[in-house]
Chains A and B, each alone.
Chain A
Amino acid sequence: MSSVKPESTARTLVFAGAVALGCALIISATVYWLRPLQVAAGASSYMHAVINAAALVAAGQTLDEREILARFQQFDVRILDLETGTFTREVNPSRFDYREQFEAGQRSQPRFMPVYLLRDGQEIHCAVLPFYAQGMWSAIHGFVALSEDLTTIRGVAIYEHGETPGIGDRIQAPEWLRQWQGKRIYGSNGEYLFRISARPDDAAARYTVDAITGATVTVSAVDQAMARWFGDEGYAPLLAELRRAP
């Protein structure tokens, strides 16, 4: 504060205007330059989550963007119309982002969901199904991958959430997600039996994932979302159909 110069209102205004303009230009230029990269990165992390759910890579192995794209292209992408429970050709799968349906105010019940299938000849080898839950504060988006029987969980990935750091965000922890592997979603007659529960129950162990201590809200949100998505309103009719005729 040693060298305060005489200041006029005009000079102050000009200076403020110049700084505001300069800052706006810097930010806009950065965004203009980086936006394509961000879109690519977003698409890439979405595809990476699908690949992770399907357990196509060993834990700890990192993929670069080209490898992610190559692996993702092995999937047969179909769009499911939840109203009819069958695949539709109304929507182009390559440019479809199911989250875009929320902006139109259909957050609770979107009509179309993408389904990612890995085929071995004609047989379905693995099916990756997206799901989302209303968490503590904001939506939790993730994928569940099913093995060839379309009942046993092959892997899970959570790729977007806004849960509390250190508490709710442990739904993303690999140690917890690993527990899901091998659990069954449906019983022998196709009834929904999967649960996330704090009380261990030996009889239902093959259908039950342990809850996370302290993260009650988050975990029960995921539990309810699983019941909705894999119930009759969600993927159950499609899965039953695919088991009959892949």
Chain B
Amino acid sequence: MNELLNIILRAIFTENLALAYLLGMCTFLAVSQRVQTAIGLGIAVIFVQTITVPLNQLVFNFLLAPGALSWAGLGHLDLGYMRFIVFIGIIAAFIQVLEQVLDRYFPDLHHALGIYLPLLTVNCAILGASLFMVQRDFGFAQSLAFGFGSGAGWALAIIMFAAIRERLRCCDVPRGLEGHGVAFVVMGILAIGFLGLRGVAF
């Protein structure tokens, strides 16, 4: 149990996908003008991460990993090299299905999250979490914890960033730094803050 809690804590604080690995930056910069939208996007990321990382873990372990096909008498195969296509396919398909389901049964939720969902297919953080899962040999429970933790960490980072950016709008930013320039400075300072949390663990 402690191990899973540690994975969650590390994924949120010490190894924040956005601030330590710089993943998902495109979406991060594009959709962080207002806190409201950042919260919506953050929740969508948590949701998608928590499902796609364990889902990809199952697919990887039962179809792609070396020897994974032994149940079909094909134990000598190693299809690990197919993981890029398979993972991105699963993520894209899952997001499509999720959108349809939300649209059909939870129109309110769809209205709130719907516009962000398609963005997430090409969010590096989503694919990155699944690739880290393979590299780190996570089991199913660990994948679940890591998916949730890394999603929550990303959400935390973008919400904080959006809140600061809202304030920045009424600031007098030096010429040439307006817009993206000052956004990078803010992210750097946030990342320094997160460096201070490196020792966090159970």
Is B62 in contact with chain A by the CB < 8 A criterion? no
| Cα of A31 to Cα of B136 in the assembled complex, Å | 23
* Residues in A neighbouring B106, C-beta threshold 8 A: none
Is B165 in contact with chain A by the CB < 8 A criterion? no
Is A167 in contact with chain B by the CB < 8 A criterion? yes
Interface string of A215-238 (1 = CB under 8 A from B): 011000000000000000000000
- Chain B contact-residue range equals 10 to 19
Min CB gap B183→A, angstroms: 21
Interface string of A11-53 (1 = CB under 8 A from B): 0000000000001100100010000000000000000000000
Could you tell me if A137 and B195 are in contact, using CB atoms closer than 8 angstroms? no
**Which B residues from 8 to 43 make CB contacts under 8 A with A?**
10, 14-15, 20-21
Min CB gap A218→B, angstroms: 11
Could you tell me if A137 and B132 are in contact, using CB atoms closer than 8 angstroms? yes
Could you tell me if B135 and A27 are in contact, using CB atoms closer than 8 angstroms? no
| Cα of A164 to Cα of B13 in the assembled complex, Å | 13
**Which B residues from 113 to 139 make CB contacts under 8 A with A?**
132, 135-137
The one of A23, A103, A162, A217 in contact with B85, judged by C-beta atoms closer than 8 angstroms, is: A23
Known A136-B10, A164-B15; judge A27-B198 contact (CB<8 A). no
| Cα of A165 to Cα of B21 in the assembled complex, Å | 8
| Cα of A103 to Cα of B61 in the assembled complex, Å | 13
Could you tell me if A216 and B85 are in contact, using CB atoms closer than 8 angstroms? no
**Which B residues from 80 to 99 make CB contacts under 8 A with A?**
81-82, 85
Known A23-B85, A27-B81; judge A138-B136 contact (CB<8 A). yes
The one of B67, B132, B199 in contact with A216, judged by C-beta atoms closer than 8 angstroms, is: B199
Is B185 in contact with chain A by the CB < 8 A criterion? no
Is B112 in contact with chain A by the CB < 8 A criterion? no
| Cα of A97 to Cα of B81 in the assembled complex, Å | 22
Is A60 in contact with chain B by the CB < 8 A criterion? no
Count residues of A near B (Cβ-Cβ below 8 Å).
Answer: 15
**Which A residues from 199 to 217 make CB contacts under 8 A with B?**
214, 216-217
Is B201 in contact with chain A by the CB < 8 A criterion? yes
The one of B20, B136, B195, B199 in contact with A162, judged by C-beta atoms closer than 8 angstroms, is: B136
The one of B20, B67, B82, B85 in contact with A164, judged by C-beta atoms closer than 8 angstroms, is: B20
B146 (CB) vs chain A CBs: closest residue:
A137
Min CB gap A49→B, angstroms: 19
| Cα of A138 to Cα of B132 in the assembled complex, Å | 10
| Cα of A137 to Cα of B21 in the assembled complex, Å | 14
* Residues in A neighbouring B198, C-beta threshold 8 A: 167, 214, 216
Interface string of A81-102 (1 = CB under 8 A from B): 0000000000000000000000
* Residues in B neighbouring A165, C-beta threshold 8 A: 21
A31 (CB) vs chain B CBs: closest residue:
B81
Could you tell me if A27 and B82 are in contact, using CB atoms closer than 8 angstroms? yes
> Which residue of A137, A138, A165 has the most chain B CB atoms within 10 A of its CB atom?
A137
* Residues in B neighbouring A216, C-beta threshold 8 A: 198-199
Could you tell me if A137 and B199 are in contact, using CB atoms closer than 8 angstroms? no
B81 (CB) vs chain A CBs: closest residue:
A31
Could you tell me if B85 and A137 are in contact, using CB atoms closer than 8 angstroms? no
Interface string of A174-196 (1 = CB under 8 A from B): 00000000000000000000000
* Residues in B neighbouring A24, C-beta threshold 8 A: 82, 85
* Residues in A neighbouring B20, C-beta threshold 8 A: 164, 167
Could you tell me if B137 and A138 are in contact, using CB atoms closer than 8 angstroms? yes
Q: Can you name 7 extra interface pairs (CB under 8 A) apart from A162-B135, A214-B195, A216-B198?
A: A27-B82, A103-B67, A136-B15, A137-B135, A137-B136, A162-B136, A167-B198
Q: Which 5 A-B pairs have the closest CB atoms?
A: A137-B136, A138-B136, A31-B81, A162-B135, A214-B198
Could you list which residues of chain A lie within 8 angstroms of chain B, going by C-beta atoms? 23-24, 27, 31, 103, 136-138, 162, 164-165, 167, 214, 216-217
Can you show 30 pairs from A to B with CB atoms below 8 A apart? A23-B85, A24-B82, A24-B85, A27-B81, A27-B82, A27-B85, A31-B81, A103-B67, A136-B10, A136-B15, A137-B15, A137-B132, A137-B135, A137-B136, A138-B135, A138-B136, A138-B137, A162-B135, A162-B136, A164-B14, A164-B15, A164-B21, A165-B21, A167-B20, A167-B198, A214-B195, A214-B198, A216-B198, A216-B199, A217-B201
